[in-house]
A and B are shown apart, each in its own frame.
Chain A
Amino acid sequence: MQPGIGAGLMGAIGALCTTLAAAGDVPPPRQVELRQMLTQDCGSCHGLTLKGGLGPALTPEALAGKSPASLRATILHGRPGTPMAPWSPFLTETEAGWLVEHLLNGTAHAHAR
């Protein structure tokens, strides 16, 4: 592992712990699944690195100014008229909230690959 990646990973883990403290009710094994879902499934449209594809970029810069509540609602209920599908069959409100925090604070981006 390159030192840069290691440091980035430590930073991401640190930030993740903060996230955990805030939205503490997503158990770690589920977090692993959610991160996988974000990279692979969200990534099919938003890009594996979340920099955008057919769907818009999901980087902290791209999402700046959007309210966490509306982002959560978009994830759970989709956006009619666009290909954004409702993910509520696969995610609870809490899990969608965890994803939103993860996206907004940039830790999702650090993980995405």
Chain B
Amino acid sequence: MPTRAEHLRLSLFTALVLAVSGCAGPRGTGDLGLVIERATGSVQVVDTSARTRIARIDGFGDLSHASAVFSRDARYAYVFGRDGGLTKVDLLTGKIEKRIVQAGNAIGGAISQDGKVVAVSNYEPGGVRLFDAGSLAPLAEIPANGANGARSKVVGLVDAPGDRFVFALYDAGEIWLADARDPRAPRVTKFSNTGKQPYDGTVTADGRWYLAGLFGEDGLALLDLWHPAAGARKVVEGYGRGSQPLPVYKMPHLDYIAAAGDRLFVPAAGRHELLVVDARNWKELARVPLAGQPVFVVARPDGRHVWVNFAPPHNDTVQVLDSETLATVRTLKPGKGVLHMEFTPRGEACWVSVRDDNLVRVYDTATFAELAALPADKPSGIFFSARAHRIGQ
């Protein structure tokens, strides 16, 4: 039986151990995320519960147009930089675990269903490269030579069920489906003439439908991943109704498809409009006039609201729409250079990067009150670890 003094000594010792081991002891990563600071080539690790930065990490190279995916244990993030850099970061220690420069010019990446393979899409040399998610050792290369033989830039790379990766060839106008169950020898199925100048692609939350946005024509390219043998087809064709498209001062992005029930919300290219598509038949249900050329269209996780940001000169605005009535619920003016929006996993808050204010603003999604404004150096992409468990992210 320990004496009172021994008890005291014991609890003091316990307190000391906790203090030395970094105060908090073991913790999860489910409420952590990354904020890309593109001008300085650095990344912040943020805590979305405390709404604070917990680490800032340098040494990522050129992070213009950077994006990230997460390991299935949500401990590691893989950051894809413009300069071809692929960097594996440990969210818990706030350290770079491994970094390679795998190409001359890259645009994004994906992680396989089983979490074992990281794929990167490259502009230069055009194609996709596969890496071991643990060691970042190279596994395979898929050069993107279109049907005409010319090398193409690759966009819209996502993962799909069955350890597959899907991506689009910008110059060739093709969609390719790579089965990476044997990641050293991926089997590629190619779909040609799928639409001119696909600028990005995404997959529905269930991983069934791959959708590529087209810049070169009015419409979207669609591939049913349950029935790839049926081929790709064009949907929502001619949404411009033959009129001259408006200039696009920044390309729209299809980061993660915005959905509410059977409705999908897609940015129009060259129109200041949001396309509302019926996911049951892929027909246009409605279109909503917007404040400018939409860039990101993201749905709150419950689908009730859709948030949209814009290309210059309207990049100081976020328009929030009601997914049912399609009315504008609120127009926010977070500041100049709104680059990205990311909802917390269950959507009670939305984090918005405001480049020229050097801030990430956190909004309450019910009241639109600003909950926090966190300093960040020219922030661009915001990526939360909940992406680890979503298909296509």
Contact = CB atoms under 8 A, between A and B. Distances in A.
A47 B247 contact: no
Interface string A73-94: 0000010010101100010000
Interface of B: 38-39, 62, 64-65, 82-83, 105, 107, 123-124, 153, 155, 170, 197, 199, 215-216, 247-251, 312-313, 337, 355
B82 to A, nearest CB: 6
A52 B124 contact: yes
Contact of A83 (B64, B124, B197, B313): B197
A53 B247 contact: no
Contacts of A48: 38-39, 62, 64, 82
Nearest to B39: A113
28 contacts: A40-B337, A41-B249, A41-B312, A43-B64, A44-B250, A45-B251, A47-B64, A47-B82, A48-B39, A48-B82, A49-B64, A49-B83, A51-B105, A52-B105, A52-B124, A53-B82, A53-B105, A53-B123, A78-B247, A81-B216, A83-B199, A83-B215, A83-B248, A83-B251, A85-B247, A85-B248, A85-B249, A86-B247
A53 B65 contact: yes
Contacts of B170: 54
Nearest to A41: B312
A54 B64 contact: no
Interface residues of A, number: 19
Nearest to B106: A53
A45 B64 CA distance: 10
Contacts, number: 55
A85 B153 CA distance: 20
Interface of A: 40-41, 43-45, 47-49, 51-54, 78, 81, 83, 85-86, 90, 113
A2 B220 CA distance: 48
Contact of B313 (A47, A78, A90): A90
- A44, A52, A81, A90 — most chain B CB neighbours (10 Å): A44
Nearest to A51: B105
Given A47-B105, A83-B248, A54 B62 contact: no
Contact of A53 (B38, B39, B107, B215): B107
B199 to A, nearest CB: 7
Contacts of B216: 81
List the 6 shortest-distance A-B pairs measured between CB atoms, nearest first. A48-B64, A85-B247, A44-B250, A41-B312, A85-B249, A83-B215
The B interface, classified by DSSP as helix, strand, loop or mixed, is loop
B176 to A, nearest CB: 18
Contacts of A85: 247-249
Interface centre among A40, A45, A47, A49 (most CB of B within 10 A): A40
Contacts of B62: 47-49
Nearest to B337: A40
Nearest to B124: A52
A40 B337 CA distance: 9
A83 B171 CA distance: 12
Nearest to B38: A48
A7 to B, nearest CB: 20
A40 B247 contact: no
A6 to B, nearest CB: 17
Nearest to A86: B247
A53 to B, nearest CB: 7
A2 B187 CA distance: 48
Contacts of A49: 62, 64, 82-83
A44 B252 CA distance: 11
Contacts of B199: 54, 83
A40 to B, nearest CB: 7
Nearest to A57: B105
A49 B123 CA distance: 15
Contacts of A45: 250-251
A54 B249 CA distance: 13
Contact of B153 (A44, A54, A90): A54
Nearest to B246: A85
B248 A54 contact: no
B173 to A, nearest CB: 13
A24 B247 CA distance: 30
Given A40-B337, A83-B197, A83-B215, A52 B123 contact: yes
A44 B82 contact: no
A5 to B, nearest CB: 13
Contacts of B83: 49
Contacts of B313: 90
Residue among A43, A54, A78 facing the most chain B CB atoms (10 A cut-off): A54
A53 B170 CA distance: 12
A90 B124 CA distance: 31
